[in-house]
Every structure is written in C-alpha cells, then in structure tokens.
Structure 1
Amino acid sequence: MTPPEARPDYEDDRNFATTLARGLSVLRAFRTDDDGLSNAQIAERTGLPKSTVSRLTFTLGCLGYLTQPQRNDRYRPGPTLLAMGHVAAASLSFLDPAQGMMQALADQTGTLVLFAVRDRDKVALMRTWRPQRAASIWLDVGHRLPIGGSSSGMAVLGASTTEELACLMADHPDPALDGRPLDALRLEARDQLIAQGYALVRNELRHTRHISAVSVPFRSARLAGPVAFSCGALDDVLPEARIHDEVGPLLRDSVRRLQQLVGADARPAWPASPND
C-alpha cells in the first residue's frame, strides 16, 4: 500500500514535509479499540518500512505523543497527544448543545446517531449516540467509511463546494462501487439534499450491505468544510421507506434546530449551484 505522504502530487510540492507527514500517519494509525500497537502493526497500517516506523515511534515517544510503559511494549497515545485532542475538540463546540438533541433522536428512532467529518480520502466517526432502550449497531469513534459508499460521505460530498471537492479529490478517494467518479456522484447527492434535505447511498453502492443510514450535512464557521450527522441501523430496523417517512425528516429537522441553536447561518449547508 502506498502511504498517503508518498503520493506524487504531494512530493512535487517543495513545501510538503515528508518526515512530518510520516509521523502524523503513525499517529493516525491508532484506533479506539486498540490495546496498543507494535511497530510491526503500525508499519502494516501505514505502509511505511518498519525501520522508519521504529525511528518515528521513538521520536514521538520522546516528545510525549506516544507512550511505551515498558521497553519493547506496545505503543499507546501519550499525554501530549491527548492534550492536543482536547484543544482540537474545542473547535467542535456545537457538539455540546447537540448532545441532548442527538441522544433524544437516537432514543426516538432506535438508531445509532453519528457525527462524522472528512478524514482525507474517507469520513471518520467523531461522536456516536446509542439508543438507551434498544439494541443498535456498534461503530466506534474513529471508524472510517468510504466517501462514495456511505450516507455520511454522500452528505459531505453533496454539500461540498467546487473548491472543497478539489481538495477532497487531491486525496484520491475511491470511486463509487459502480465505477463512477465522485464528482459525478456529488451531483446525485446534491440533488437528494435539494429535494429532501438529507442524503442516502443507493443499496448497490453501500459499503456495508446490511446497514442502512441517512445523513444531513452541517457547517460550522470553525471548520473548513461540511460535516455530517447520520442515523444508522440494520436494514430490518431502518428500511428505506422508514427513512423517507420518519427518520430522514426527523434528522433533517434536528440538524436545522442545531443550526439555529448555535447561531449558524440558516441557509442550507450545500452550495446554491453545483459550480459554486
């Protein structure tokens, strides 16, 4: 696998710091359900040589971004990285008022409610709300989904401006399962947002066949591009008819209330024209 930092379009830019990119790819290799990672595991996930990973984890450990309780033990996120995470979370201040609203939506619909952001060539889950009195699907924070194979990705894609789409395409996301490029899929997603205020991915294009989901984009002045709130469940709990009759409109209205609550622009999160 070619590591993201080695892509030719980045290497050609003299301002691109390859060593820094490699160090950040090591940090991005960690997931919430990991009980630490060895250098070999990090090398496998990043596509970097093990010798390079060993130097990077040693350096990151010295700086506090990683911790290794005992010599030859697995690496885990360190205190410096955790402190930076808290600083970064401050830019998502709208999630504080969203907490009660999204939990109520999860309980009302019996679905897992998600908050997702674009993470280079995919979307990554940053927060989840599980229904309190119903079994639901389980997806961990940090779980990454393909742009063209998830409703979260469709919402982000449909709400992206042409400039934001260009930035997304620079990370070379996978095309849709039917082979269509994402700039074509963007028009389909945008049409859904205009017509109904929410987006979903067609069954034949879904990354996870047995899970159904619907998503609504959201914009914050503190973020560079659109993000998404979603409701997801197994197909028998969330068939497409229920999405259109109940869950999609409820999610759309909840996101609109959140926009009003945090004083965000009342305009839709997607551009007025596909050429914007």
Structure 2
Amino acid sequence: MRDIENAEAGGAVVKGFIGPPGGGAKMTANGMERKIQDRDISLTFAKGMSVLKAFDTSSTHLTLPQIARTTGLDRATTRRLVLTLVHLGYVKQEDRVFSLTPRILVLAGGFLQGRQFGKTIEPVIRSFSNQISEPISMAMVDGDQAVYVAHAGARANSVSIGFTVGSKLSLLSSAIGRALVAGYPAGEAEKLIATAPLVPFTNATSMDRDAIAADITATTQRGYAYVVGEFEAGVAAVAVPVRPDNAEPNAIGVSGDASRFEDPKVRQNIIETLRECAKVVAELL
C-alpha cells in the first residue's frame, strides 16, 4: 500500500498513517480546527491503524514481513499488533497469511448509519439516477483522497473498475475529487491542490498542478467538474459539489463511456440532474 502520509506522534513516525490535511489538524468547511498536540496522541493506536491500512485492494492477504515492510514497523511490533487484531476479530489468520474479516465493516457502520446514508441519502440518489439511467456516487474527503460514502442505481453495463462504498480515489485526477476540492474555502483548496498525490493513472492524466488548480477554479464558477480519461482510460466523469450548511463538503458524480459524454445534450442532462440531486441531498445532511 502506498504511503499517503506520515504521521508524527511523540517524536516517532508511523508510515502509512493517514490523517487529515495539516498533520493532526482537522480540515473542515469552516476552516482549520485546533491542532492536536503530540502528547495527546496514542502512538500505539496509530501503529495499529497503519496495520489495518496495509490491507487494500491489491494486498488483501499479507504475511507479517509484508505488513512490516508496508507500515515501516519492526517485526516484533508488527507481530503484536497483528495478533491483537486477530484476537479482536478484525483480522483472521490462515497459516502465515493474514486478511481482514467482515468485522472491519463495523468501524464504518457507525459513520454511515449515523449520517443516514443508507436510509435517506441513497434512496434520493437512486431516484435521480433512474432519471438518467446512470449510477450516481457520493464522496467525501479523507486526508488527501476522496472516499465513496454512498452509491446507488448501478446498472449491469455501467462503466466501473469495481468501486464501491469505502473505495478511495484521486482528489486531483477524478471529477468527483475536483468537485470536492472546489467545495472548500480557497485557502484549504489551495493546500489540497499543492499536497494531494499526483499519479499518472493514464496517458491523459494531468500532472500540472497549476492546470488542475485552474480547472478546479472553473469547477467552482460553472458548478460542475468534467474529467475525461484522466483517472480511467476511455471513461468520462461529471461531478457537482454538494454544499450543506455548516457541514464538510460532499460531492456527487456520474462516470461512463467517454464517447457517450461527448454528446452535449447527454452531458448537460446529467449535469442538471446532478445539480437537482445535490440540492436535495444538501438539505438532508
């Protein structure tokens, strides 16, 4: 798993620990909150979280040496943390190989249920997705990436590379990511643009932060982001910011075959539908 951010706590650095932008200060729509002091951080807990984050879509089954290399922890520490997670039921062991268990979903369940994503948000998204016969996804910012928190209306022939609720994607190379950044105050948006990772997902991926900043400014002005082939080859995506009162930014978006999105009428219909959907969702947050 790629090291997204290093977290420094109590003088030690834990590789793979992902925190909010600012190294311990929480990013919000209303500005930066008080930075948490190093003395108030549990380094052991941070190390345990880095172990959980070592498991991703490309590394679902890992040995202790592999986890140690990914997290940057020594073998003994890695072993204690992994066995603790096995004892708690979040990780299972088969011979010398470890993997996550369904219990890990409980950690996300409180967040999703508390915000009524399944009960109130997804039915709304589904109703609008039926109008355009396209699945609609909703995302929020997590550190320097976007993470899907709701998804509805998927069709069997929709374009996708397997994303689902909890999947992460680029803030700077995806339409929904740029729509999220556009929802932040200027200073916070500038920081995300300057620090979020840039990965050449395709030959069309922009690696020019100034050009991306200009596109995010345009997104703010026109009210939607439009990205073609930068995150997935041959795939276009449209996304709009969701602007709830006194809440952190969200965004909703649609992706599909780029050739279909070339039709201005099709694209405009999707944009208008997303805008109407965003208004309703904003009132529910």
TM superposition score category, shorter chain reference: 0.7 to 0.9
Cα distance between partner residues in 2 of 1:150 and 1:84 = 26
Cα distance between partner residues in 2 of 1:109 and 1:72 = 48
Instruction: Tell me if the contact between 1:230 and 1:251 (Cα under 8 Å) persists in the aligned partners.
Output: yes
Amino acid at match of 1:77: T
Instruction: Tell me if the contact between 2:183 and 2:243 (Cα under 8 Å) persists in the aligned partners.
Output: no
Structure 1 residue 212, shift from structure 2 partner: 0.7
Task: Write 1 or 2 for the structure with the bigger share of helix.
Answer: 1
Q: Which moved more, 1:109-118 or 1:34-43?
A: 34-43
Matched residue, 1:24: 49
1:178 correspondence with 2:207: yes
1:88 correspondence with 2:89: no
Instruction: Tell me if the contact between 2:134 and 2:155 (Cα under 8 Å) persists in the aligned partners.
Output: no
User: Per the alignment, do residues 163 and 26 of structure 1 end up closer, same or farther by CA in structure 2, a change over 3 Å counting?
Assistant: farther
Structure 1 residue 43, shift from structure 2 partner: 4.3
Structure 1 residue 168, shift from structure 2 partner: 4.2
Cα distance between partner residues in 2 of 1:226 and 1:3 = 21
Q: Which moved more, 1:29-38 or 1:84-93?
A: 29-38
Q: 1:188 aligns with which of 197, 215, 238?
A: 215
User: Per the alignment, do residues 87 and 212 of structure 1 end up closer, same or farther by CA in structure 2, a change over 3 Å counting?
Assistant: same
Cα distance between partner residues in 2 of 1:18 and 1:118 = 24
Matched residue, 1:152: 176
Q: Classify the secondary structure of the residue corresponding to 1:213.
A: strand
Instruction: Tell me if the contact between 1:110 and 1:136 (Cα under 8 Å) persists in the aligned partners.
Output: no
Q: Which runs of 5+ in 2 are unaligned?
A: 14-21, 25-35, 199-204
Q: Classify the secondary structure of the residue corresponding to 1:216.
A: strand
Cα distance between partner residues in 1 of 2:226 and 2:73 = 35
Q: Which moved more, 1:209-218 or 1:87-96?
A: 87-96
User: Per the alignment, do residues 152 and 20 of structure 1 end up closer, same or farther by CA in structure 2, a change over 3 Å counting?
Assistant: same
Q: Deviations over 1:93-143 (max 9, x none)?
A: 255223233223334333332121212121122332244464442432233
Question: Structure 2 matches for 1:83-232, cutoff 5 A?
Answer: 83-132=106-155, 134-141=157-164, 142-162=166-186, 164-165=188-189, 168=192, 172-175=195-198, 177-180=206-209, 185-186=212-213, 188-195=215-222, 197-201=223-227, 203=228, 206-220=230-244, 225-232=248-255
Structure 1 residue 33, shift from structure 2 partner: 8.7
TM-score by structure 1 length?
Answer: 0.73
Q: 1:75 aligns with which of 71, 88, 99?
A: 99
Matched residue, 2:28: none
Aligned residue pairs, count: 253
Cα distance between partner residues in 2 of 1:243 and 1:43 = 49
TM-score by structure 2 length?
Answer: 0.71
Q: Classify the secondary structure of the residue corresponding to 2:138.
A: strand
Q: 2:88 aligns with which of 63, 68, 87?
A: 63
Task: Write 1 or 2 for the structure with the bigger share of strand.
Answer: 2
Instruction: Tell me if the contact between 1:121 and 1:168 (Cα under 8 Å) persists in the aligned partners.
Output: yes
CA RMSD of aligned residues (A): 3.6
Cα distance between partner residues in 2 of 1:37 and 1:125 = 25
Amino acid at match of 1:188: D
Residue identity (%): 21
Amino acid at match of 1:228: A
Q: Which runs of 5+ in 1 are unaligned?
A: 265-276
1:5 correspondence with 2:30: no
Q: Classify the secondary structure of the residue corresponding to 1:75.
A: strand
